[in-house]
Every structure is written in C-alpha cells, then in structure tokens.
Structure 1
Amino acid sequence: MNAVDDKTVVKDYFNATGFDRWRRIYGTEQVNKVQLDIRKGHQQTVDTVMDWLKADGNLRGLSVCDAGCGVGSLSIPLAQEGAMVYGSDISEKMVAEAYDRAKVFLGPNNNISFSAQDLESIAGKYHTVICLDVLIHYPQEDAARMISHLCSMAESRLILSFAPKTLALSVLKKIGELFPGPSKTTRAYQHRETDVVRILQDNGFSIQRQGMTSTRFYYSRLLEATRG
C-alpha cells in the first residue's frame, strides 16, 4: 500500500467508524476493558510529555505544533499552561471534536488554532513540534518522510511516539492482542528505534529524553530530540 493509499485509509477511518470509537476512548464515557486500557496508556504518554515541558519552565507563550492532534488530548492541556498551540489532524471530524472540547475547557477565545490536513501538508515554524500516536498508521518509508518534515518545522525540539518493533510485540500483534477489535480497519506498523533515531540524527537532531508506556494493549516509545 503506497503513501496515498495509507493516508486515504486513515482519513476515511477516522472520519467514519474510527471517529466514534476513538472519541470515546479519548473521552470519559464508559468503554470496554481493552479501550479503557488504551485510554490509560495514551494518557500516560500525554502526561509524560506534559511533565517534560512543564519541567523546562517555559511553556507560557511557547509556539507548539501538535501534529495529529486527534480530539485535543494534548493540545488542550498545552494551551491551559499558556502555550500557543497549532493543532492539526487528517480527520475533519477529529478536528471538529477538538475544537468543541477546547471551547468547553478554555472558552471560545483561546490560544489554540486547529486545521484538518495531513501531516506532510502542515507548514510553518514552531519552537516545539509534537507528534503522538501517528506513526503507527504508516510504514517505515512513509514514516521516515513524515519525521523529516516534522524536523523541518521544529526550530528547537521534536517529540514523537511510535510503536517499537520488538520480537515480543511483533508476536502479540500477529495474534491480535496488541490492538483492539476485528474492525479496526487501519494497519498497525511498528518501527525500529534505531531507524527513528537515525532519521532524527540525519536531520540534525539529537536525543535528549526518552520514555516508554507499556500497558496490556498500548505500547508507545517516546523520544524528545533537540536541534544541534
């Protein structure tokens, strides 16, 4: 499947059945045990990123691009801390939901702007670019191009997460225990950390902080890379 096809599948999924499923996972309403486990894992990843950024003590007024913002799980807490946030997602429905949630949590006049576009169409320069739980939808060759584009927008720092490619997780994936439901419809790609690090280094970035979230059904490797 080529890049255009992968993007089409992802966009169509998150504008249809996937939207309702993941809106509930990223929300507060009752979900099944697998979805609850994924909700907790995703929140742990968001919390780790927020802890890193708050520890630096310079979030207020910082320009941040949340690439693949979903329903605003990261964009909203970033804005609550005073960051100037640009959130983008390939799904129009996800962006609309993020916009509505931002109005609830921050009021109608807030410091987030949202748009619906694929990752490689995002333009501009930002102090920090963040991309969580997006690369899992794309194979290595597409992920490499996407990471390079994210690097081109990041003036200082890039934070991204991916499903690490290990033997154990590959086995779990094959027997259907890593990702929920027979109707998930999107492919789940794992990436070797050495490949991700190499792409970052080729774009002039070096690893500063690392994290790993592991629950029963959610596995996410988190890397912070800085320019220079």
Structure 2
Amino acid sequence: MPTLTYAARRGELLQYFDRTAVEAWKRLTSDAPVNSIRATVRAGRDDMRRTLLGWLPDDLHGVRLLDAGCGTGALAVEAARRGAKVVAIDLSPSLIELGRERLPGDLDIDFRVGDMLDPELGRFDYVVAMDSLIHYRPRDTVRVLEGLCQRSDRGVLFTFAPRTAALSVMHAVGRLFPRSDRAPAIEPVRPRIIERLIGEAVPGWGARGMHRVARGFYISQAMELVRR
C-alpha cells in the first residue's frame, strides 16, 4: 500500500523529471555530447540495461512486460524488438512524449503517463523497474515491489542504490550544487537489508540474481525476484 512518503517523493520526482531536468534527460538518453560526469552515467545506464535485458529470455514473443518508470523508453524498445508486448509507464508526460517520438516505426509500445502501481495496468509476465525505485525509502520500495510481484507471473527485475563509500561521497558533493540543480536524493540501502525486507513483505518470492554496475558517477545494483 503506498505511503505518505511514497506520495510525497512521487511529487518531487514528477517536478524534477517533467520540468527541471527534462532537457538534461533528453540529451543523456540520446547520442548528443554530454560532459564527462554525465558520460559515466550514460555508460552505467547502458550497462545496467544490458544486465536486466540479459536476465530476460531472448525470445519474448507472447510475453507481456511492464517497463515501470520507463523514462524515454530505451529498455522498452529493446524488449519490444524481442517480441514482447510492452506497456511502458512513467510519471513524466514530457519523457513519455519523447519516448513516443523516438519509437521506431516498426515497433508498437503502449506508452502511458501514470503510476506503476495502477491496478488498471493488469497482469504481466515480467516487470522491469530500472532506476525508478532508487529515490524511495527502503520500506516504500519494498511496498512497491510487493504490489508489482502480486501482478507478475514470472519475475520482477529492479534496481536499488547500494550503500557504498563512493556513493556517500557523491551525495556529499551533490549537496554543494544549487538546490534548483539537484536531482531528488536517492536512498541507499545495503543489499542484505533490502533482501530481508523483501523476505518479510513478499512471501513466496526471493532473489535469484544480483549484479552491481559502477561506472564513475553511476552506481546501481540489480536484483531479479522470482517465485520460490
């Protein structure tokens, strides 16, 4: 069940990705030149996307997949190329519109503006949430995962921000930027803590795979949840 902290952070994310940072994300998710810091973020996101896609079957024909927090839809496009029927949802109308504009003409993806927990989205074989839960407190993240697992038949793949010394330094540096330029804070958590919380809140599900990507200013950890 969503909490007040989830709702409040959701509003911050909408403000940031739909207004403050839309141009920056437009460049980051394209081939446009970016500075050295954002280049590491782009490379890290590319690595993470490959990791998550690598955990999915090569042939996705007949599979219904939810790209939860899809951004501009890069992962959704790759899944659709493998044959998946993809619903790609994001809070930001601006990012969804950009995803629709970039969609190759030979693919069909159901882009939607809204909340990944919307029950009207229906059931899926797989849910993928790449870097869309990293801004929520751990218990809020697990509540979201509980809801996603209830609607997934085969697996939920997601990422979280692992608590590391390097990530702590990046947080400290980030606080030096003007408030208007800051992204919403991420919420680092130790892998064993997130696993324990999932075990308590989502019975019958457990981690089958885990992989960390660290490329400069990008640090994120993927986890694959499956039915036990």
Alignment TM-score, normalising by the size of structure 1: 0.89
Alignment of structure 1 residues 126-137 onto 2, 5 Å: 126-137=124-135
What residue in structure 2 maps to residue 19 of structure 1?
Answer: 22
What residue in structure 2 maps to residue 158 of structure 1?
Answer: 156
Measure, in 2, the Cα distance between the counterparts of 1:67 and 1:73.
Answer: 12
Check conservation: 2:170, 2:217, Cα contact below 8 A: no
What residue in structure 2 maps to residue 226 of structure 1?
Answer: 226
What residue in structure 1 maps to residue 31 of structure 2?
Answer: 28
SS of 1:28's partner is: coil
Measure, in 1, the Cα distance between the counterparts of 2:5 and 2:24.
Answer: 25
Measure, in 2, the Cα distance between the counterparts of 1:159 and 1:106.
Answer: 27
SS of 2:173's partner is: coil
What residue in structure 1 maps to residue 50 of structure 2?
Answer: 47
What residue in structure 2 maps to residue 64 of structure 1?
Answer: 65
1:170 offset after TM fit, Å? 4.7
Q: Structure 1 pair 216/116, CA: closer, same or farther in 2 (3 Å)?
A: same
Gaps of 5+ in 2: none
1:200 aligns with 2:201: no
Alignment TM-score, normalising by the size of structure 2: 0.89
Aligned equivalent of 1:112, options 109, 122, 141: 109
Check conservation: 1:147, 1:199, Cα contact below 8 A: no
Whichever residue aligns with residue 114 of structure 1, its letter is: F
Whichever residue aligns with residue 101 of structure 1, its letter is: R
Q: Structure 1 pair 48/92, CA: closer, same or farther in 2 (3 Å)?
A: same
1:212 aligns with 2:212: yes
Measure, in 1, the Cα distance between the counterparts of 2:38 and 2:198.
Answer: 32
SS of 2:27's partner is: helix
Q: Which has the higher contact order (CA 8 A, sep 6+)?
A: 2
Aligned equivalent of 1:147, options 137, 145, 148: 145
**Partner deviation per Cα, 1:20-50 (whole Å, 9 max, x = no partner):** 1112111110111111110000000001122
Measure, in 2, the Cα distance between the counterparts of 1:126 and 1:26.
Answer: 26
Aligned equivalent of 2:13, options 6, 10, 18: 10
Q: Structure 1 pair 180/112, CA: closer, same or farther in 2 (3 Å)?
A: farther
What residue in structure 1 maps to residue 41 of structure 2?
Answer: 38
1:6 offset after TM fit, Å? 1.0
Measure, in 2, the Cα distance between the counterparts of 1:138 and 1:213.
Answer: 19
**Partner deviation per Cα, 1:143-173 (whole Å, 9 max, x = no partner):** 121111111121110100111023x135313
What residue in structure 1 maps to residue 166 of structure 2?
Answer: 169
**Partner deviation per Cα, 1:32-80 (whole Å, 9 max, x = no partner):** 1111110000000001122222xx3432221110000000010001111
Aligned length: 220
Measure, in 2, the Cα distance between the counterparts of 1:51 and 1:130.
Answer: 12
Check conservation: 1:148, 1:199, Cα contact below 8 A: no
Check conservation: 2:65, 2:85, Cα contact below 8 A: yes
Of all paired residues, the percent bearing the same amino acid is 25
SS of 1:16's partner is: helix
Check conservation: 2:138, 2:194, Cα contact below 8 A: no
Measure, in 2, the Cα distance between the counterparts of 1:49 and 1:180.
Answer: 33
**Partner deviation per Cα, 1:73-119 (whole Å, 9 max, x = no partner):** 100011111111110001111111111111xx243xx3310111122
Q: Structure 1 pair 149/39, CA: closer, same or farther in 2 (3 Å)?
A: same
